[in-house]
Chain A
């Protein structure tokens, strides 16, 4: 798979999915995709359908209601697919960690490959995170 992963690293299509965040991280992801940061020069493109995606960008704490949907969307994606968790929320629960409706273990819902902490992380931090993913794919 090494050869294929190298090709994959050059053309990463992302799908953005929000799993009950405070919405700030989503806005920051949209900032990331503006002409100012120009992710297309790295081959990264936002796609509208999960069937076209290679990377799932997920935000938030995954509450009880949204967790089954997250799982379903992950299962609808063509493999290989990588999950990148944006923000402190998926990493530690952030300010919502004592919320009554957060799922107990986020790792049981989605196999998260990469955490990009920050509340919200700056677009530069997200680019660095993606660059790390590319590094891993390149072996």
Chain B
């Protein structure tokens, strides 16, 4: 049992699988972005090269920083992502929900953001702390809509909060995305994960051109490598979560695997298109968008779900 747990955590739905798939999908992101700009784009293994290179660089700890926090933040965030990917993966691929439910997942996702905020503000750099502040505001902005769409999935599954139960209900009665409330929640979820992954148009916290990568500015060497890996791991975690909550999960026969891969690729490609066709918005317009537009729409979806539509 415990050996199986270790396998889950370190190999299949967890660390190794998520990292390798994430870095490969990261290549798709860079390649498609390059094609959008009529470029050739990087080779397939580029993200792996970058990661290995960063592991071998010198780590500089800024003298004015809070050293322990500065070094711990990327690894805490990484550990959180490994836990999250295991939770989602076990529910998706093994249909077991013994590890935790949707609320645990929401908390873990929040701890990731908090690690980023703490890491950014521990450096003692002005731009980093600006980026950390913006990260807090983004968390306030997207969390509300995100929690509401998670609630939509819970309500539609007959008030079940387990991840595996939500998937099982959809396997039995058809995916939630086929109903009006499900499709609204799915689309809002797509925008929320764009914000949670800090992709354009919501890369406000890490705006390269104004606050030089924000919280990551002072990081170098292995800690930076882990931030880099974290970013790409989210390319698997969030689309998997959306599929699990709204799009019917995963069935292990031949056609099911193909279906699942197609759904996953579709979500990723939509994210990349959104990323490449929208310029970065200001922090106040992002807040306004999430509170005035995304929040009421997801609330309507929740009401529809409660009414059973």
Instruction: Verify B60–A78 contact, CB threshold 8 A.
Output: yes
Instruction: Verify A38–B49 contact, CB threshold 8 A.
Output: no
Q: How many Å lie between the Cα of A13 and that of B166 in the bound state? A: 44
Q: How many residues of B contact A (CB 8 A)?
A: 30
User: Quick one: which of B30, B41, B60, B221 contacts A76, CB cutoff 8 A?
Assistant: B60
Given the contacts A7-B53, A40-B39, A51-B217, A79 and B58 also touching, CB distance less than 8 Å: yes
- Name B33-57 residues within 8 Å CB distance of A: 34, 37-43, 46, 49-50, 52-53, 56-57
B218 / chain A contacts, CB cutoff of 8 Å: 49, 51
Instruction: Determine whether A8 belongs to the interface, using a CB cutoff of 8 Å to chain B.
Output: yes
Instruction: Determine whether B2 belongs to the interface, using a CB cutoff of 8 Å to chain A.
Output: no
- Cβ proximity bits B193-228 to A, threshold 8 Å, 1 near / 0 not: 000000000000000110011001111110010000
- Name A88-104 residues within 8 Å CB distance of B: none
B261 / chain A contacts, CB cutoff of 8 Å: none
A52 / chain B contacts, CB cutoff of 8 Å: 213, 216, 219-220, 224
Tell me if B's interface is mostly helix, strand, loop or mixed: loop
- Cβ proximity bits B43-79 to A, threshold 8 Å, 1 near / 0 not: 1001001101100111110000000000000000000
A40 / chain B contacts, CB cutoff of 8 Å: 30, 34, 39-42
Interface residues of B (CB under 8 A from A): 30, 34, 37-43, 46, 49-50, 52-53, 56-60, 208-209, 212-213, 216-221, 224
Q: Considering the complex of A and B, which 10 residue pairs feature the smallest CB-CB distances, nearest first? A: A48-B212, A78-B58, A78-B220, A51-B220, A38-B39, A10-B49, A11-B49, A35-B37, A41-B40, A11-B53
